[in-house]
C-alpha cells in the first residue's frame, strides 16, 4: 500500500473509492454525500458503524470525535478491512485534523496499514490486498491550514511504525512448531541485518558459562535449545540510552505444573515480549531515532520431560539469588530474572530499562484483555508511559507495588519463591519478583510491562485482528519520541 499526499480538493482526485468518516453523527458535513441512501437504509453514522455505498465507490465509518485520535486509527482500520473483499485499487480520503495535525494524520495512516494486516501463512487461499494506493487530500474536516511538510513526515513515520507492529504480529502468530527459539533468533537477525543493527546470539553453552541457571532450568526439557539475543542500535547522534528486555517463550506448556488443555492453547503467544522488541528496534532504526537501544531477548520453550525442572527445585540465578520453584508455570519471571541481570551487568550507563512480558493471567483478570499493566518504582516514568499509551492508542494502566505483597514471595528454604503465597495481586507479585533482580542504583530506571492481555486476543478489536496485536510497539515508540522531545527542550 502506497500513500500519496495530494494538495488538491477531494473532488479533483481520481480514485476507485472514497473513505469518509461520519464524525459525531454529523451527516450534514460537506464530506457526506449519500443522505438519501442513508435515509433508505436507516444509517445514522453511529460510532464504529459502517455503511458501504459500493455502487458510488464510497464507504462511511462513524466515529465519536476527532480529538481522541485513536478513533481515527480504529475507523481507518475498519474501513480498510471492509474494503478488502472488493477490487478497488485506489482510495482517497480527506484529513480529520484540528489542533494536533501530526498525531491525527499518523493515526489515520497507522490505521490503514494495521487494518490491512492479515495472517494467512497457513491458508491455502491467501488474503487479497487489492488497495495499492491511498491518496490523502489536504482538504480537511475543519478547513484548517495544513502543514504539508509535517503531514508528509507523519505519513512516513506511521508507515514505519505500523509495519513494525505487523512484523511483531507475524512473529507472535507463527506457530510454535515453526517459531522455535532458534527461528525467533533468526527473525531478530533478519531484522538486524536489514537495519544495520548489531546482534549477538548466545546459546546454551554461553548461558552455562555465565551462570544463567534460572533461564537454563526453564529451557532444559525442550529439544529446542534456548537462545539469548542482544541487539544494539546505535544512532549517529545519541540523546539517551535505553535497554529493553523481552520474555520470549516460544511455547509455555506450564512445564511439570502443566497447564490444563484449554489454558495451553494460545501459549505460542508467550513470545510476545521478545517479538515486540524486534518490532520496536525495527521502527527505531527506520525512524532514525536519536536513542541508543539495546534489546535483550530471553528465548526458550517451557516443556515437560525426564530432565524437566521441578517444583521444589532451588535455582541459583545469575546474580546469586536463590529461587525456590513452587510452580514451573511461573517460568517467565525466571527467564527474565537472568536476562535482567545480564542486561545490568553488560550494558553501562543506560537511562532506562524496561521489560515486556506476557507474564501473568492475573494481569488479564485485573485489567481485562485489552490493557497492559505497568509496574515499577519511578512514578514519573510510569506517568510518561501512561501518556505514551494515550497518544499511541495502546491501553495501559499502572498497578501499584506495596511492601505487604512483597513479603508474600518469602521462601522458607531459599532467598525467594517463584510464586506468591496468595493468589491475590498476582500481576503485582510477579512484578515484585522481578524487582529482586534490579540493582539498587537501577530501581528508578526500571519499569515492567505485563502485556499478557492485549498481546494476543482471540477476536478482532479496535485496529487489531484476531490473534497477535503487536502490543508494546506503538507504545514504546511514542514513549521514546516523547523522551527525545523533552531532551531536545532541555537543551534549549
Count of positions on this chain that bind Zn ion (CB under 5 A): 6
106 among known catalytic residues:
no
Cell numbers standing for residue 433 = 519478583
443 among known catalytic residues:
no
**Angle, helix 426-435 to helix 332-346, in steps of 10 degrees:** 30
Q: 446 burial class (0-12, 13-18, 19+ CB within 10 angstroms)?
A: buried
Among candidates 299, 362, 306, 364, which has minimal Cα distance to 332?
A: 299
Complex with ligand BES: residue 225 or 331, whichever CB lies closer: 331
Q: How many CB atoms lie within 10 A of CB 6?
A: 15
Tell me whether strands 456-457 and 467-468 are parallel, antiparallel or unpaired. Answer: antiparallel
Complex with ligand BES: residue 20 or 359, whichever CB lies closer: 359
Task: Name the one range near Zn ion by CB under 5 A: 22-30, 173-181, 265-273, 309-317.
Answer: 265-273
Given the C-alpha cell 498476582, which residue does it identify? Answer: 426
Residue nearest to ligand BES (CB): 361
Give the Cα-Cα-Cα angle 142, 90, 43 (nearest 5 degrees). Answer: 55
Complex with ligand BES: residue 83 or 325, whichever CB lies closer: 325
C-alpha distances in Å from residue 15, one per residue of 35, 137, 151: 21, 11, 20
Say which entry of Zn ion, ligand BES, none residue 272 contacts (CB below 5 to 8 A, set by partner kind): none
- Answer for which of 170, 252, 355, 481 binds Zn ion (CB under 5 A) is 252
Say which entry of ligand BES, Zn ion, none residue 452 contacts (CB below 5 to 8 A, set by partner kind): ligand BES
Q: 346 in helix, strand or coil? A: helix
Torsion of CA 168, 393, 375, 419, to 10 degrees: -50
Q: How far is the CB of 148 from Zn ion (least distance, A)?
A: 47
**Long-range CB contact pairs, 341-344, < 8 A, 24+:** 341/212, 341/317, 341/437, 342/210, 342/212, 342/228, 342/230, 342/296, 342/318, 343/243, 343/245, 343/294, 343/296, 344/438, 344/439, 344/442
Q: How far is the CB of 258 from ligand BES (least distance, A)?
A: 11
Q: Which residues of 205-232 are buried (b: 16+ CB within 10 A; e: fewer)?
A: eebeebbbbbbbbbbbbbebbbbbbbbb
Map the footprint of Zn ion across residues 102-141, applying CB under 5 A.
Answer: none
Q: How far is the CB of 357 from Zn ion (least distance, A)?
A: 8
Among candidates 232, 243, 242, 270, which has minimal Cα distance to 254?
A: 270
**Alpha helix segments (H runs only) across 235-377:** 261-264, 272-287, 332-346, 361-367
Complex with ligand BES: residue 157 or 174, whichever CB lies closer: 174
- Answer for which of 270, 301, 324, 394 binds Zn ion (CB under 5 A) is 270
Say which entry of Zn ion, ligand BES, none residue 327 contacts (CB below 5 to 8 A, set by partner kind): ligand BES
Q: How far is the CB of 426 from ligand BES (least distance, A)?
A: 6
Task: Name the one range near Zn ion by CB under 5 A: 162-170, 186-194, 264-272, 304-312.
Answer: 264-272
Residues found in the chain: 492
Element (H, E) at 77: helix 69-83
Q: How far is the CB of 459 from Zn ion (least distance, A)?
A: 21
Complex with ligand BES: residue 163 or 257, whichever CB lies closer: 257
- Catalytic-role residue among 259, 286, 387, 487: 259
| Alpha-carbon gap, residue 81 to 64, rounded angstroms | 19
Q: What is the DSSP letter of 461?
A: B
- Catalytic-role residue among 247, 333, 382, 384: 333
Complex with Zn ion: residue 186 or 259, whichever CB lies closer: 259
Complex with Zn ion: residue 357 or 385, whichever CB lies closer: 357
Q: 302 in helix, strand or coil? A: strand
Q: Is there binding between residue 355 and Zn ion (CB under 5 A)?
A: no
Say which entry of Zn ion, ligand BES, none residue 311 contacts (CB below 5 to 8 A, set by partner kind): none
Q: How far is the CB of 371 from ligand BES (least distance, A)?
A: 13
Say which entry of Zn ion, ligand BES, none residue 362 contacts (CB below 5 to 8 A, set by partner kind): ligand BES
Q: Is there binding between residue 70 and Zn ion (CB under 5 A)?
A: no
Complex with Zn ion: residue 76 or 250, whichever CB lies closer: 250
Task: Name the one range near Zn ion by CB under 5 A: 51-59, 115-123, 272-280, 322-330.
Answer: 322-330
Task: Name the one range near Zn ion by CB under 5 A: 176-184, 313-321, 327-335, 450-458.
Answer: 327-335
Chain residues in the site for ligand BES (CB under 6 A)? 252, 270, 327, 329-332, 358-362, 364, 419, 426, 452
The pattern of x and - marking residues 221 through 250 that bind Zn ion according to CB under 5 A reads ----------------------------x-
Q: Is there binding between residue 282 and Zn ion (CB under 5 A)?
A: no
Complex with Zn ion: residue 81 or 250, whichever CB lies closer: 250
Strands (E), 173-279: 198-202, 227-233, 240-252
Q: Which residues of 161-190 are buried (b: 16+ CB within 10 A; e: fewer)?
A: bbbbbbbbbbbbbbebeebbbebbbebbbe
C-alpha distances in Å from residue 463, one per residue of 387, 393, 404: 19, 9, 39
Among candidates 101, 89, 94, which has minimal Cα distance to 19?
A: 94
Q: Is there binding between residue 332 and Zn ion (CB under 5 A)?
A: yes
Say which entry of ligand BES, Zn ion, none residue 343 contacts (CB below 5 to 8 A, set by partner kind): none
Please give the residue ranges that form the binding site for Zn ion (CB under 5 A): 249, 252, 270, 329, 331-332
User: Which of the residues are catalytic?
Assistant: 259, 333
Amino acid at each position: 500500500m502506497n500513500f500519496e499526499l495530494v494538495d488538491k480538493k477531494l473532488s479533483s482526485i481520481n480514485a476507485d473509492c472514497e473513505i469518509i468518516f461520519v464524525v459525531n453523527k454529523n451527516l450534514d458535513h460537506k464530506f457526506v454525500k449519500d443522505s438519501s441512501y442513508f435515509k433508505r437504509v436507516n444509517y445514522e453514522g453511529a460510532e464504529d458503524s459502517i455503511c458501504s455505498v459500493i455502487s458510488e465507490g464510497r464507504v462511511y465509518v462513524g466515529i465519536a470525535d476527532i480529538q481522541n485520535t485513536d478513533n481515527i486509527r480504529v475507523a481507518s482500520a475498519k474501513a480498510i478491512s471492509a474494503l478488502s473483499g472488493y477490487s478497488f485499487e485506489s482510495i482517497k480520503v480527506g484529513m480529520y485534523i484540528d489542533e494536533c495535525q501530526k498525531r491525527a494524520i499518523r493515526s489515520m495512516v497507522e490505521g490503514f496499514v494495521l487494518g490491512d494486516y492479515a495472517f494467512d501463512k497457513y491458508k491455502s487461499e491467501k488474503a487479497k490486498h487489492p488497495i495499492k494506493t491511498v491518496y490523502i487530500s489536504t482538504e480537511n474536516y475543519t478547513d484548517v491550514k495544513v502543514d504539508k511538510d509535517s503531514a508528509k513526515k507523519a505519513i512516513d513515520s506511521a508507515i514505519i511504525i505500523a509495519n513494525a507492529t505487523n512484523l511483531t504480529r507475524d512473529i507472535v502468530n507463527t506457530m510454535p512448531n515453526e517459531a522455535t527459539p532458534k527461528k525467533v533468533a533468526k527473525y531478530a537477525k533478519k531484522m538486524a541485518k536489514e537495519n544495520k543493527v548489531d546482534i549477538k546470539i548466545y546459546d546454551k553453552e554461553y548461558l552455562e558459562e555465565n551462570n544463567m541457571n534460572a533461564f537454563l532450568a526453564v529451557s532444559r526439557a525442550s529439544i529446542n535449545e534456548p537462545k539469548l539475543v542482544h541487539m544494539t542500535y546505535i544512532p549517529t547522534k545519541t540523546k539517551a540510552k535505553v535497554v529493553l528486555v523481552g520474555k520470549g517463550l516460544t511455547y509455555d506448556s506450564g512445564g511439570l505444573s502443566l497447564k490444563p488443555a484449554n489454558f495451553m492453547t494460545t501459549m505460542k503467544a508467550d513470545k510476545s515480549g521478545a517479538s515486540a522488541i524486534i518490532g520496536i528496534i525495527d521502527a527505531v532504526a527506520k525512524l532514525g531515532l536519536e536513542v541508543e537501544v539495546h534489546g535483550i531477548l530471553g528465548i526458550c520453550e517451557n516443556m515437560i520431560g525426564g530432565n524437566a525442572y521441578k517444583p521444589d527445585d532451588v535455582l541459583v540465578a545469575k546474580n546469586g539469588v536463590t529461587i525456590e520453584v513452587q510452580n514451573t508455570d511461573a517460568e517467565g519471571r525466571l527467564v527474565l530474572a537472568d536476562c535482567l541481570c545480564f542486561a545490568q551487568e553488560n550494558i553501562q550507563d543506560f537511562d532506562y530499562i524496561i521489560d515486556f512480558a506476557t507474564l501473568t493471567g492475573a494481569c488479564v483478570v485485573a485489567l481485562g484483555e485489552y490493557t497492559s499493566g505497568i509496574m515499577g518504582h519511578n512514578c514519573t516514568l510510569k506517568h510518561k508511559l501512561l501518556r505514551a499509551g494515550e497518544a499511541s492508542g495502546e491501553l495501559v494502566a499502572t498497578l501499584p507495588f506495596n511492601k505487604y505483597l512483597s513479603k508474600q514471595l518469602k521462601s522458607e528454604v531459599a532467598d525467594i519463591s517463584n510464586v506468591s503465597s496468595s493468589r491475590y495481586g498476582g500481576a503485582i507479585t510477579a512484578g515484585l519478583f522481578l524487582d529482586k533482580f534490579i540493582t539498587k542504583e537501577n530501581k528508578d530506571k526500571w519499569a515492567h510491562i505485563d502485556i499478557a492481555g492485549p498481546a494476543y486476543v482471540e477476536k478482532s478489536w479496535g485496529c487489531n485482528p484476531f490473534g497477535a496485536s503487536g502490543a508494546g510497539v506503538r507504545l514504546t515508540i511514542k514513549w521514546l519520541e516523547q523522551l527525545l522531545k523533552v531532551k531536545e527542550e532541555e537543551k534549549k
